[in-house]
Structure 1
Amino acid sequence: KNYGRAVYECLRGGLDFTKDDENVNSQPFMRWRDRFLFVAEALFKAQSETGEIKGHYLNATAGTCEEMMKRAVFARELGAPIVMHDYLTGGFTANTSLAHYCRDNGLLLHIHRAMHAVIDRQR
């Protein structure tokens, strides 16, 4: 609930977009389904109060491709406009599957590159 409240305050306060941290997945203190529900509520409340289009990048990255798709489908069912995926953690096949789903279902897809700096770091 606190996370949803923070998203609401940011969007209501003037931001157009907010996003999950790339490391926010489904920890015991913030399960993905609860987070998606609270964020969707915050998003639509801020939109109705401001009359502006708002967005939030919901992190759909998961341990399996099936779980990732389940999260993306749930985000779409909630009416969320954007999902996010960490392509290095999720893998290229999962990324391509999610890209096809998003394109076919009118979702925006943000590809995050967590761990990229570790791989590319010059020493």
Structure 2
Amino acid sequence: GEYFDFVMEAIQKAEAETGERKGHYLNVTAPTPEEMYKRAEYAKEIGAPIIMHDYITGGFCANTGLANWCRDNGMLLHIHRAMHAVLDRNPHHGIHFRVLTKILRLSGGDHLHSGTVVGKLEGDREATLGWIDIMRDRFIKEDRSRGIFFDQDWGSMPGVMPVASGGIHVWH
């Protein structure tokens, strides 16, 4: 609670000084779902419109519950992908980020760090564009150059807004 209070105070101060809208994604990831919900409730109570969850470290089931809670409480859920590289960077074992993206879309969330084709989290351009398609499009046509191996129709399943992450700046 104290950290959240400090952050919200800083946001309000920055808005007052600049006249601009400011924000921060309060991270509610916790060791237990019960603590996660306490943090989410407190974030809502102090006026945060968006909270953040690390869906891999927090767990997919916990993420689904939190996504449902956010919908019921009028809050946005930003998804962080902490620990993904442990699973998706080794070409010999693990889970490809394309699969982790699909799991997230099924689990729920409003936006996800998608990686970029420049910056500190730079990745393969075509693969990155492929999982961005998976996040946001209702129908994805097979495109093996982007790692899409078959047509995929998500029907009424909500999309996830891809968010550029890691070292993006004007010189790119």
| Shared fold, TM over 0.5 | yes
Distance 2:45 2:16 in 1: 19
Cα distance per residue 1:2-35 (max 9 Å; x no partner): xxxxxxxxxxxxxxxxxxxxxxxxxxxxxxx211
Unaligned ranges ≥5, structure 1: 1-32
- 1:25 — aligned with what? none
Structure 1 residue ranges, 4+ long, deviating more than 4 angstroms after superposition? none
Deviation at 1:95, TM superposition (A): 0.4
Say which structure is richer in helix: 1
Distance 1:66 1:121 in 2: 31
Q: Which moved more, 1:43-52 or 1:109-118?
A: 43-52
TM-score (norm 2): 0.50
- 2:66 — aligned with what? 98
Distance 1:51 1:102 in 2: 28
Question: Could you tell me which amino acid in structure 2 is paired with residue 104 of structure 1?
Answer: D
- Larger Rg, first or second structure (1 or 2): 2
Sequence identity percentage: 69
Equivalenced residues, count: 91
Distance 2:29 2:39 in 1: 8
Deviation at 1:58, TM superposition (A): 0.8
Deviation at 1:51, TM superposition (A): 2.0
TM-score (norm 1): 0.69
For 2:24, which of 56, 64, 72 is the aligned residue?
Answer: 56
- 1:107 — aligned with what? 75
- 2:51 — aligned with what? 83
Deviation at 1:80, TM superposition (A): 1.1
Unaligned ranges ≥5, structure 2: 92-172
SS in 1 for 2:25: strand
RMSD: 1.2
Cα distance per residue 1:79-102 (max 9 Å; x no partner): 012111011111111101111111
Deviation at 1:49, TM superposition (A): 2.2
